Amino acid sequence: MAYRYLFGPVPSRRLGRSLGIDLVPQKTCTFDCAYCECGRTTVLTLERREYVPTDRVIAEIDDCLAKAPDIDYVTFAGSGEPTLHSGIGDIISFIKDHHPRYRVAVLTNGALFVDPDVRAALMRADLVVPSLDAVSEDIFRDINRPSPGITAGQVVAGLVAFSREFPGVIWLEVFIVPGKNDTDEELLRLRDAVAAIAPDRVQVNTLDRPGTDIRVRRASPRTLERARTIIGGNAEVIGAASCEPATAPEMRDVADMLLATLRRRPCTVADLSRISGLRPAEVTKHLRILEEKGAVEPVREQRGVFYRAA
């Protein structure tokens, strides 16, 4: 079966080997974050509906997991906000009922947690990783550029409600944007919000791949450590990506696999080598062909040269 809604497994800094599930068309989201590695949001919305066929997603998951892949998590992530899909709860329940050996993670911006139906849909997940980048309304709007109707206060209230109901593990991500949310004042507000949410872990993060707004730059290690110290408690700074190499893909068209990955996130040659199991020289050869066709383009960033879909 050719998979349309699954991708990977990919190496994740937080989740090890992760099989991705993409539930919305690129780029459909409740936010248009300045740092987003998936590019500008083209559909900025709060509307929950069945963006892709639930039964088709379940069929792909069943086919893939029946082969017993060696993965650490089945992860809802990808091209936008997964909780916008009205069937996410049914899909999570299918995995837990039919493939219980696999842990389920949901990466979300948490914007819809004010809705009890959204919170209920995630109750059977093992791990939820929401984000909270700012508590001040002006900084929140500047960084996350939310859909009209979403406020920072609502996001915090939704996260507090979710943390009280959710039986699984919560890792809260705080993404530091230099010059925006790295002041003592804003970090202290984040500290108070984190205390109310009481997640199992707080992960202080910054730009790794090229973001939407070219003015957003990576925070220095010193800035990240300062943020971690002020937020306090169980906060940690996320380290560099690390993952064991994957086995070589059993695919005739490697270029299509690389391009599908780059449509979801920019990657370096080393990233693609880890994801695909191919030698870096082989990855480079395919990227050159794709670049000549105008399908991908290189972008130089602090961590090196990233490729992204053109």
Q: What percent of the chain has pLDDT over 90?
A: 59
| Count of C-beta atoms within a 10 Å radius of residue 158 | 22
Placement of tokens 């947690």 in the chain? 113
Give the start-to-end residue ranges of the domains of the chain.
Answer: 6-243, 245-310
Residue 5 reports pLDDT greater than 70:
yes
Three-state SS sequence of the chain: CCCCCEEEEEEECCCEEEEEECCCCCCEECECCCCCCCCCCCEECCCCECCCCHHHHHHHHHHHHCCCCCCCEEEECCCCCHHHECCHHHHHHHHHHHCCCCCEEEECCCCCCCCHHHHHHCCCCCEEECECCCCCHHHHHHHHCECCCCCHHHHHHHHHHHHHHCCCEEEEEEECCCCCCCCHHHHHHHHHHHHHHCCCEEEEECCCCCCCCCCCCCCCHHHHHHHHHHHCCCEEECCCCCCCCCCCCCCCCHHHHHHHHHHHCCECHHHHHHHHCCCHHHHHHHHHHHHHCCCEEEEEECCEEEEEEC
CATH classification for the domain delimited by 245-310, as one of 1.10.4160.10, 1.10.10.10, 1.10.579.10, 1.25.40.10: 1.10.10.10
Residue 247 reports pLDDT greater than 70:
no
Q: How far apart are alpha carbons 132 and 63 in whole angstroms?
A: 35
Segment 274-304, tens digit of pLDDT: 776 677 777 887 888 888 888 899 888 777 8
Residue 210: the pLDDT is 61
In sequence order, what are the beta bridge partners of 298? 307
Q: What is the pTM of this model?
A: 0.79
Residue 213 reports pLDDT greater than 90:
no
Give the CATH architecture of domain 6-243. Answer: Alpha-Beta Barrel (3.20)
Segment 15-43, tens digit of pLDDT: 888 899 999 988 899 999 998 877 789 99
